[in-house]
Structure 1
């Protein structure tokens, strides 16, 4: 018969963590002024807070302990999920961001094993921002590539209006209004610089190539475009502002669309 897993408590983690710090030359005491474990060596004070799960409550508790020392750890049982998963990497980032340490305790059949996973250390925000400057640039690029705000923040399982989709709508609006066009002519009317890529990939199935380098709108594109009248009006107005007398035949309005 399969045995039920043993329920573990915060106190079950105390002995292996105490033994570790004692082995490092610290004097260790439990439950000192509401701190689960304290360790001291000369003037270096370490505080460890225990919980059965990583929680906001535990992080708040640990952050408050940082008023007394820079050497604060949170201790939890070692998670059952994989430690190279995105979920765990997010946990690690948060712990480092809060400048806390992390101790994991596992419970094999006999005894308990402590693992010092993260040591408390200052978090270099400038280095972090420098490392992520490309992601920052992509956020700004996405914002600047959009017109208007068509999404509700916090929404789940809903279609999101992106700069890429607006680029598709813009191209579709131009093809509907002016008729078949080449990517160069589309760009001259204000279309995104990614027009060639959008047309060739045809992610939404809105476009069809009628001859080499010239594209038209499909019936699917016509139907889908009807859902975005405000954007269509904006892009056509923008295109008309860019038209010059030298635009030539490809810049003339589609007679069928004008009727």
Structure 2
């Protein structure tokens, strides 16, 4: 699965100085530098190099400074990484290629040297904001069919953990979760119930969520 590629590529980019998190804004892997004007690097993962992987990378070009694709290197040497046409296409598009061996070693097949066009600043801003506000790196890049642990879900779990001790006023919850007012009012996941004006408690669904994600 693609998740098996995530940790080797994450380690590779972290060694290059990026803060890396998985499944941010629909991207398998997002790395952001600590510079005042951060550099955004996106990498899409697949078990093999194919056209779909390239199409995903082209879509990410609107929000990233560098776009990479990474896949498992064919043990028999018959993968797309050996196809000069595929490598040349990546070069023309400015997309870097990384190969991951069975041992987890990462090699650069095609460097990402050409600057990618940035045509969607709003989408880029959402991506950077989600990356910076998400605590830790709770989702392996390449994950599918599982609820994504977004920054919003983390904050909602923070509210639930506080309310697990008993009903409280919004202002009391807001001391630890600044966005508590919006989260409790919208109640996206059905975890909270309004007991009276400005006072909220935790539902059974909220308690189940705390059991499901105890580390948060």
Question: TM-score normalized by structure 1?
Answer: 0.40
Whichever of the two has the greater Rg, that structure is: 1
Which structure features the higher share of helix residues? 1
More contact order relative to length (CA 8 Å, sep ≥ 6) = 2
